[in-house]
Chains A and B, each alone.
Chain A
Amino acid sequence: MRRILGHVAEIGLSAGEEQALIACPAESIPAPGQYLLAAEKGAIQATVLFQSGTRKQGFLIASPFPESWQPGTALTLFGPLGRGFQLPADVNRLAMIAMGNTNSRLLPLVDNLKSPQVSITLFSNAQPADLPPDVEAYPIQDLEDSLDWPDFFAIDTTLGRLEALSALFDQVRQKRPGLRGQVLVRTHMPCCGLGKCGVCALRVKRSWKLSCEDGPVFDLPGVLTGLSW
């Protein structure tokens, strides 16, 4: 892996959401949940990018991204880095939960499913951006009544919202000790995984893990256990 050059190819709206298309070689495109570091000339810190879809010349990212980025802005890129989503082959009922302002970081998972027979439900309060036809969408408030249905959860949240996630899953965990799922924990990663600076730390099971190095996708039960300690 090495620094490569890319650029902002387009910025536009898709179903009401601002997105940017990052032009880069195919091998630099992060898998769903993985991240890529990007910096324009003069940037003080690198920006962490997650993909919201791929295109022929690169990949899409959801806002927010630096306001200074415009179509044509040259970027230094490094990655892909980290552990992304790895859905088991035996998933039948997938619940995707987007706890932020977009569901677009989860939608690439739909294309990655090995079986076309998987039932998929998206819980999100974000605008439904270009949902595939076989994905049902509900507001996140409906999730509590549907937590028994999925056999796998794929979640996109921030470090700051993990407490809310824990509260949501408290009842489910008591009823379903075999709970399966993965959670993308987005947070600042100022040291890019180089410095073990600890800003992106979270408890997984009984130990501290770094989102930049050990994640940013973690097994859901481990994260929930860590939150209860």
Chain B
Amino acid sequence: MDDLLLDFSTTKYDLEISPPVMNAAGTLGYAPQSSDLVKFDRLGAFVTNPISLHPRTPARARINQPFPGGFLLHSGYPNPGLRAVIKKYTTRWSRSPLPVIPHLLVHQVEDVPLMVSQLEGRGGLTGIELGIPPDCETSQAIDIVQAAVGELPLIVRVPMERAGEFADVLAGSSLAVLSLAPPRGTVLDQQGQPVRGRLFGPAIFPFALTAIQEVIESGIPVIASGGVYEQQQIETLLELGAIGVQLDAVLWSLIDVEGWV
């Protein structure tokens, strides 16, 4: 897979990532660190955990609820805020053996230029992934993307269940490539109460396929993700036209993905 490239040439940016496989935001922390579970040097890039402008504390009710074929996660995306993350990790980013892509948790357009400007020019960073909120209007998403345009190539992570909608409005802009956020759903907890959160696991893969096809039809490049638990699924996604693949919960499953990329 080393001969494959994640190519940003459809955007105004000049960037290639090889191999075109990386972790998804929220799966491996804020900077690559040596781990015997995940061999970072086999990934094409490292995507950080979601980072908000201001610190976020964990959700009051944090949930990990299995369901057949997957599990639901709700954490509130806790993080120490952009300033603290930069202070703690900027040296590790600059020394990182692979390109680092900070994932920005965006809530309002006004914050975006401030967040992006704090990242530009820092060593080790090769792009920015913008996390579009699940309830974001498409018009607001365009404003967010335009506000983030700067030196660094952009990946826009859109809600998987609305991928086609966002792809249609962003197609032709040449501003960014898309990636897919885990879909949100509701399952019953052990007390039989409905709980809502992000969905992971092999059961998500068919939904990811649908989303990817919708995005590809719109003509905008997409980095696929969602439910990848087998090496063959990476190849399937690339054959379908995805320009790259992000791995999420499989990285936590003790499955050895080292030979996949």
Contact = CB atoms under 8 A, between A and B. Distances in A.
Given A195-B29, A198-B76, A46 B252 contact: yes
B37 A44 contact: no
| A interface residue count range (under 10 / 10 to 19 / 20 to 34 / 35 or more) | 20 to 34
Contacts of A199: 58, 62-64, 73-75
Interface residues of B, number: 37
Interface string B58-88: 1100111010011101111110000000000
A78 interface: yes
A3 interface: yes
Contacts of A190: 64, 71, 73, 249, 252
Tell me if A's interface is mostly helix, strand, loop or mixed. Answer: loop
Contact of B253 (A43, A196, A197, A201): A43
B251 interface: yes
The interface centre, meaning the residue of A192, A197, A200 with most chain B CB atoms within 10 A of its CB, is A197
Interface in A35-82: 37-39, 43-46, 76, 78
A44 B70 contact: yes
A191 B252 CA distance: 5
Interface string A1-21: 111000000000000000000
Given A3-B37, A199-B64, A194 B252 contact: yes
Interface of B: 26-30, 35-38, 49, 57-59, 62-64, 66, 69-71, 73-78, 200-202, 229, 249, 251-256
Interface of A: 1-3, 37-39, 43-46, 76, 78, 188, 190-192, 194-201, 208
Given A3-B37, A45-B252, 14 more contacts: A1-B36, A2-B36, A44-B71, A44-B200, A44-B229, A45-B64, A192-B37, A192-B252, A194-B251, A195-B26, A197-B26, A199-B64, A201-B75, A208-B78
